């Protein structure tokens, strides 16, 4: 099936994300990239765990002084819900319903923005209330590198999805752009996968001590 072919509800295939050769390569290449991302984040987790609570003086804030359950919980819920809304978007993509896909992607972006806003508030709070900054201690460096890298992924994911939505807003769905939407949603889910480990390893284990 040619990528530029005009599709209808009747001719839309069951797996539009894997119809053309380009789409198949994109799918495979993207999963290979996610394998690499796993290693990248694992090494940041390893660094964080090795340097956790390593501060130069005893009056500096440790993990158990910094983290609070409510904020981490709200951020987790926002990101987890945005993962479901992007599943909804892909459901409508498979049913060739472009408008509803755009709508759910839009909701995903809003939830992601909410998450990012809270993270900025959180970092600002740590820096000003606790003097816990990137350069204040090895603990600070490891913390901001790990959590900030994840936040950077969220920001990039938001830009990516928004760009796709705007770029294709007047084009509708085709076998050329369906794999692009699919791969972007995979990326968004992967961000949530990483966050599950962040809230467990950094926040919850930090509060336990």
Near another protein by CB under 8 A, which window of 112-120, 125-133, 146-154, 192-200? 192-200
- What does the alpha-carbon distance between residue 163 and residue 142 come to, in Å, rounded to a whole number? 31
Q: Is 46 in the site for another protein (CB under 8 A)?
A: yes
Could you say which residues in the range 76-95 bind another protein, by CB under 8 A?
Answer: 76-77, 80, 83-84, 87-88, 91, 94-95
Question: Which one, 8 or 135, has the nearer CB to another protein?
Answer: 8
- Scored b (16 or more CB within 10 A) or e, 22-32 reads ebeebbeebee
Q: Which distant-in-sequence residues (6+ apart) come within 8 Å of 69 by Cβ?
A: 203, 207
Asked whether the beta carbons of 96 and 181 are under 8 A apart, the reply is no
Interface with another protein, residue 45, by CB under 8 A: yes
- Residue 23 and residue 175 in contact, taking contact as beta carbons nearer than 8 Å: yes
Q: Is 64 in the site for another protein (CB under 8 A)?
A: no
Q: Which of 36, 56, 57, 99 binds another protein (CB under 8 A)?
A: 36
Q: How many residues bind another protein (CB under 8 A)?
A: 53
Nearest CA-CA partner of 157 in 121, 195, 200: 195
Instruction: For residue 189, give both structure tokens.
Output: 């889910």
What is the token pair recorded at 116?
């990012």
DSSP 135: T
All residues at 6 or more sequence positions from 72 whose CB lies less than 8 Å from its CB, including other chains: 199, 203, 204
Q: Is 38 in the site for another protein (CB under 8 A)?
A: yes
1 binds another protein (CB under 8 A): no
* Cβ closest to another protein, residue 123 vs residue 187: 187
Q: Are residues 112 and 82 in contact, defined by beta-carbon separation less than 8 angstroms? A: yes
49 binding another protein? (CB under 8 A): yes
Answer yes or no whether residue 204 interacts with another protein by CB under 8 A.
Answer: yes
Q: Does residue number 60 form part of the binding site for another protein (CB under 8 A)?
A: no
Binding footprint of another protein on the chain (CB under 8 A): 9-10, 13-15, 18, 27-28, 31-32, 34-39, 41-43, 45-47, 49-50, 54, 69, 72-73, 76-77, 80, 83-84, 87-88, 91, 94-95, 186, 189-190, 192-193, 196-197, 199-201, 204-205, 207-209
């Amino acid at each position: 099936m040619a990528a530029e072919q005009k599709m209808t509800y009747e001719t839309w295939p069951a797996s539009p994300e894997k119809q053309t050769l380009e789409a198949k390569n994109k799918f495979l290449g993207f999963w290979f990239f996610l394998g690499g991302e796993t290693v990248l984040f694992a090494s940041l987790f390893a660094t964080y765990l090795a340097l956790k609570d390593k501060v130069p003086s005893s009056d500096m804030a440790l993990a158990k002084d910094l983290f609070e359950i409510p904020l981490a919980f709200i951020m987790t819920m926002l990101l987890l819900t945005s993962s479901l809304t992007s599943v909804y978007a892909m459901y409508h993509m498979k049913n060739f319903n472009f408008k509803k896909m755009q709508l759910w992607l839009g909701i995903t972006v809003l939830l992601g923005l909410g998450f990012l806003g809270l993270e900025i508030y959180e970092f600002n709070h740590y820096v000003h209330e606790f003097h816990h900054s990137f350069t204040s201690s090895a603990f600070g460096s490891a913390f901001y590198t790990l959590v900030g890298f994840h936040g950077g992924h969220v920001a990039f994911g938001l830009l990516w999805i928004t760009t796709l939505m705007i770029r294709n807003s007047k084009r509708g769905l085709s076998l050329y752009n369906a794999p692009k939407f699919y791969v972007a949603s995979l990326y968004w889910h992967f961000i949530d996968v990483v966050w599950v480990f962040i809230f467990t390893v950094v926040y919850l284990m930090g509060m336990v001590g």
